[in-house]
Amino acid sequence: MQLPVSLIETDALALALDGRGPIGEAAERGWQIFASSPLHGGELVRAATGELAALLRPGLSVAQACLLAAASCPGVTKVLLSASAPAHWEAARAALDQAAIPPRTLRKVCDVLAPHHPS
């Protein structure tokens, strides 16, 4: 299954943290979940801050931290992305080689970015 997962639209991520929503249901069925648009077409890189990146994973760039956040969504098995330069591919690979961001950190970020996510 493929669906957008990013910190721009946090609903899917917030629901997945509770094992609910489309990602939780697909994971329960044993389906692979492909996260598309993890940087929301580049919008997230322009909108996010260094403070957010440091909260997610100190030492990563904004783009890397936001990409790792999508990859750390419970149930996500693959992340679909494109890059315009070899250096971007290398930065993405370096980010995705990191350990997953803990669920409690993702929850904190979701609560700050969209405090009224679906119940």
Is residue 30 in some structural domain?
A: yes
Where b means 16+ CB within 10 Å and e means fewer, 71-93 reads bbbbbbeebebeeeeeeeeebbe
Is residue 116 in some structural domain?
A: no
Residue 10 has pLDDT above 80, yes or no: yes
Is residue 57 in some structural domain?
A: yes
Prediction pTM value: 0.91
Q: What backbone phi and psi angles, to 5 degrees, belong to 78?
A: -145, 155
pLDDT of residue 100: 97
Residue 110 has pLDDT above 50, yes or no: yes
Distance of CA 47 to the CA centre of its chain: 14
Collapsing DSSP to helix, strand or coil, 111 comes out as helix
Q: What is the CA radius of gyration of the chain?
A: 13
pLDDT tens-digit series, residues 12-53: 999 999 999 999 999 999 999 999 999 998 888 898 999 999
CB 112 within 8 A of CB 75: no
Least-confidence region, from 8-22, 71-85, 104-118: 104-118
Is residue 119 in some structural domain?
A: no
CB 35 within 8 A of CB 67: no
Residue 115 has pLDDT above 80, yes or no: no
User: Looking at the 3D structure of the chain, how many domains does it have?
Assistant: 1
Is residue 37 in some structural domain?
A: yes
Is residue 8 in some structural domain?
A: yes
pLDDT of residue 116: 54
C-alpha to C-alpha distance for 93 and 113, rounded to whole angstroms: 26
pLDDT of residue 117: 47
Instruction: Identify the domain containing residue 57 by its residue range.
Output: 2-111
CB 50 within 8 A of CB 62: yes
pLDDT of residue 19: 93
Is residue 118 in some structural domain?
A: no
**In terms of residues, how long is the chain?**
119
